[in-house]
Structure 1
């Protein structure tokens, strides 16, 4: 028997083992038949088995067929089903803008979304560093979709928490970067020779493209707070905050400083805000701002032209009115936003003001931007990471 024939026989043995394993996996999954989506999981496993039977019968087996089978992923998913509490759905489909997002496991009665990853950790890290074929999406790409989608589907008035389950382990740096995005990690953390710092941009993909020609900026309250916060002005690496969101933002700021990004965007542009934004910003400064944050806040207001909430482009000094990019934003009788959910009255006033004066609205309020997009309103925006005022909390925080 030739080496080629020997190789084929070995591959056929492997296929038979996979087929047997797949049938056992279907039996294991049957105990979860009462859960929404498990029948869909059965069909996907059977599709894998049908493909393996086909290549076995036609002697067209390749090593890659066995390496790329989805049975490994399905095995990890079924195993996780046996470990979670109150699972309500498997392979649940949610709409995100003009595409669909499939959540592997929805559990804790809807309060948790899980993604199960069965790739080997070295391969995951290489893909994140760009070492993959065209079209292969990294775990960061998938994480951003989960993060964008979860707030659109609250459960019991809460945004579902996102959990990534790494069945075969995950590189330590990769796990840390995902956690910095707010994702919970399950799975063994392993050391990988190619451990690197992954580059996560401070500017959101929600930001409108090609706005460099627009000379006007409309500052949202969240942008003004981020600009004057103590954490963006030198204190991010000095304190250990007991409030989780402040600790997380301080960690983000150490890796991805916000203020230099805002300063670069403000360069050669005129800064505006509406009266509502100014009043809310001042109220927050006077309530929770520290003395240095208040000083920076009022210094920033001196650089900003404040206009009435109902101002229009003709009320601004610039002559770049009637810009084409704003045509997709302007309201029509059949296209308007109503207050509710992530669309809050204050934010609606501020974003509408930016649209009216034809300025790019700078904001950390990504929830509003997404909710508006879901309703067909695409504001012209520059979206950055959120930073809260921290100076008052620093007096009670531990020094690092």
Structure 2
């Protein structure tokens, strides 16, 4: 939330940015208090060089006693967390396992003003925002802690590995199949792993160093540049139009103003909002090019990585692509051949809907039509249909299919009504028996 959750609250509270001393004090107290109620309590490692903090983010899992949102309403858990931390206001995010708390600003002496004279004016009342995120499993907790570490580091690494078809999100590391991605990005994604150690090993990053704060932005940049997939374009390389950190280009990252113009829209937005990512693109990468560093041309071919990723998960590229093409073929059969071949105008809506249901069952589910499986709807050895034959079958038989479908619907409705009536009679009979037993017992 960046410390702004209470700015637009029903009763606004001032939660200004905190100097490091205040942040460290509140974080230490918060972690200590929450460890009485959760088995795992941690805060993601902060980005280097931060001089102020907007809020305190804490991840928790393994609830003890009355602090488990899976056993009691989240609203009640949020209120209890507010009591534990002495919050003056609580924002409960419905549908999300996160609570925003406003706690009083700590009364500590800051180093920079330790010897300054006290002001005669009363200090402004202010608060600190604490965001507590409940994670539903230990594995997911470890991933969130990993994925949130070091601020913008995953923005940097994400822009590096994306051109090789790799994506890291809040669920894990994925590979995107290029031929599928052109039409459906979501379905192109193949899950690889959600284990932090495997991800870091996969992209060639030192795991032990990951779990320690960086002393400076420069140190973090050099660490990110150690990724085995990071390399930059040579300064005198021929300029070509492509996304510098986009999908599977032939050359490396360029940076600077020229590289900025070739960035994807999302990366340009990150540059505008994230100073560290902006420095990575406009300062660090051009510096690498100027110094003619070892990062030139380290990896210029992504095809090996594609197959390596698939082998990592025991997936054949050809099988994955064939499966996608067959799925798309069947979708086109339903949308364009079946539905597209049955008239819409001057046709009863119920008849058309019934016809689609029957023909879909025959073509895509292998059901019989008039006692046989029509030759026109049989698949070849790869599972594909003869589009022309299927279309001719639909055009010749949609009216009969509609009639059959309506008859089946009438039978189904009649049976449902008969069952409903039989149930009603059984219930009436049971009531009459109970009344008789009461009368006999009363006599």
Which of the five TM-score ranges fits, normalised by the shorter chain?
A: under 0.3
TM (norm. structure 1) is 0.23
TM (norm. structure 2) is 0.21
Larger radius of gyration: 2
Tell me which of the two structures has the higher relative contact order, counting C-alpha pairs closer than 8 angstroms and 6 or more residues apart. Answer: 1
